Structure 1
Amino acid sequence: MITNEFWLDRWQTGRIGFHQEGVDPKLVEFWPTLPKNSRVLVPLCGKSNDMIWLAEQGYQVTGIELSSLAVIQFLSDNDLAYDTYQEGELKIHTVQDLSLRIVEGDYFQFTENNFDACYDRAAMVAMPNSKRANYVSHTLERLTPSATVLLISLQHDGDDQTPPFSIDEQAVISLWGDKIQKISSENLVQTMPRYKERGHTLFEESIWHIKP
């Protein structure tokens, strides 16, 4: 059962193979040009440096993260000065001198709306099938009707009991709607030996867009 406690334990024990050092090249390659000060939502952000890159492009970035340890590591690793205040069950960390804030708490308790874009590299694939539809609908409710989405999904032949979960193309379209389009895909088994060493024959990473 994938619960909040599962993820908190992963951070506490350092089992964070999903964390990616540096900025994801796919973000740099496929992120669309948006007006300056567009509001960008990053669900289940961990301590991803992708948020720094987005903020440096001139966007107002909001990351949501359950683990206080992940939040602390992100802020300290990047030497960021910040202010913190409590808002209900959520703790808001606002970075000084950079248009970025981290909301610490359960993503499903975050109800702010009118975001212009969403970047999901590792959030949907962290959701078991029982929670996936709720995650997507909750995310879409946070966005404006004309918002942009950049989504990275995975389809693989590995264990389906633990994340990252495999999601096929039809399921992505069913969840996000027919406006979503696949713009790139790559079987990482062919380019990254570690996936073959783990016994995979398929570990396909796909890039999806919803454009206004």
Structure 2
Amino acid sequence: MITNEFWLDRWKTGRIGFHMEGVNPKLVEFWPTLPKSSHVLVPLCGKSNDMIWLAEQGYQVTGVELSSLAVVQFLGDNDFSYDTHQEGELKIHTVHDLPLRIVEGDYFQFNESHFDACYDRAAMVAMPDSKRAEYVRHTLDRLSPSAWVLLISLYYDGENQGPPFSVEEHSITSMWGEKIHKIVAENLAPTHPQYKERGHSVFEESVWRIQP
């Protein structure tokens, strides 16, 4: 059962293989050019440096993360000075020198809206099937009607199931709607031995985009 406690324990015990050092090349390659100061939502952000890249492009970035340990590591590793205030069950950490803030708490309690864009590298695939549609609905409710979305998904074979979870293509289009389109896909299994060792002959990473 994938619960909040499951993820908190993963951070506590350092089992964070989902964390990517550096900036995701697919973000740099496929992120759209948006007006400066566009508001960008990064759900289940962890301590991803992708948020720093987005903020450095001039966007107003809001990451949402459950684990206080992830938040502390992100702010500390980057030597950020910041202010913190409480809003209900959520803690808001606002960085001083970048247009960036981290909302600490349960993503499903985060109810701000009218974001201009959303970047999801590892959030949807972290959701078990029973919560995935709710996650997508909650995310779409946070966005303006004309918002962009950049989504990275995984599809793989074999008996070893996530997280990260395998999500079929028809599932993505049914949850995110007809505006979402796959723009590139790559089978990582032939070139990354760790996937073959786990019994996968297919481990496809796909990039999807909603473009208004």
TM range (shorter): over 0.9
Pairing 1:3–2:7 present: no
- What corresponds to 1:81 in structure 2? 81
Inter-CA distance 158–14: structure 2 relative to 1 (3 Å threshold): farther
User: Using the alignment, how far apart are the partners of 1:57 and 1:159 within structure 2?
Assistant: 41
Paired residue total = 212
- What corresponds to 2:175 in structure 1? 175
For residue 160 of structure 1, report the CA deviation from its aligned partner.
5.8
Structure 1 residue identity aligned to 2:176: W
Asked if the contact 2:42–2:61 (Cα under 8 Å) also holds between the matched residues in 1, the reply is yes
Per-residue CA deviations over 1:57-108 (Å, capped at 9, x if unaligned) read 0000000000000000000111111100000000000000100000000000
Asked if the contact 1:148–1:209 (Cα under 8 Å) also holds between the matched residues in 2, the reply is yes
Look up the SS of the partner of 1:27 in the other structure.
helix
User: Using the alignment, how far apart are the partners of 1:25 and 1:158 within structure 2?
Assistant: 27
Asked if the contact 2:23–2:50 (Cα under 8 Å) also holds between the matched residues in 1, the reply is yes
Asked if the contact 2:41–2:62 (Cα under 8 Å) also holds between the matched residues in 1, the reply is yes
Moved more, 152-161 or 29-38: 152-161
Structure 2 residue identity aligned to 1:182: K
Pairing 1:109–2:109 present: yes
Look up the SS of the partner of 1:166 in the other structure.
coil
For residue 162 of structure 1, report the CA deviation from its aligned partner.
3.2
- Structure 1: stretches of 5+ with no match in the other structure: none
User: Using the alignment, how far apart are the partners of 2:139 and 2:208 within structure 1?
Assistant: 15
In the superposition, the TM-score normalised over structure 1's length comes to 0.98
> Which residues in structure 2 correspond to 1:1-212 (within 5 Å)?
1-159=1-159, 161-212=161-212
Asked if the contact 1:160–1:166 (Cα under 8 Å) also holds between the matched residues in 2, the reply is no
Asked if the contact 1:18–1:122 (Cα under 8 Å) also holds between the matched residues in 2, the reply is yes
Asked if the contact 1:154–1:165 (Cα under 8 Å) also holds between the matched residues in 2, the reply is yes
Structure 2 residue identity aligned to 1:39: H
Asked if the contact 1:43–1:120 (Cα under 8 Å) also holds between the matched residues in 2, the reply is yes
Look up the SS of the partner of 2:189 in the other structure.
helix
Structure 2 residue identity aligned to 1:122: A
Look up the SS of the partner of 2:48 in the other structure.
coil
Look up the SS of the partner of 1:189 in the other structure.
coil
User: Using the alignment, how far apart are the partners of 2:195 and 2:131 within structure 1?
Assistant: 26
User: Using the alignment, how far apart are the partners of 2:75 and 2:29 within structure 1?
Assistant: 25
Percent identity reads: 78
For residue 209 of structure 1, report the CA deviation from its aligned partner.
0.3
- Structure 2: stretches of 5+ with no match in the other structure: none
Asked if the contact 1:59–1:99 (Cα under 8 Å) also holds between the matched residues in 2, the reply is yes
User: Using the alignment, how far apart are the partners of 2:101 and 2:160 within structure 1?
Assistant: 33
Asked if the contact 1:115–1:142 (Cα under 8 Å) also holds between the matched residues in 2, the reply is yes
User: Using the alignment, how far apart are the partners of 2:82 and 2:161 within structure 1?
Assistant: 37
For residue 161 of structure 1, report the CA deviation from its aligned partner.
4.7
Look up the SS of the partner of 1:71 in the other structure.
helix
In the superposition, the TM-score normalised over structure 2's length comes to 0.98
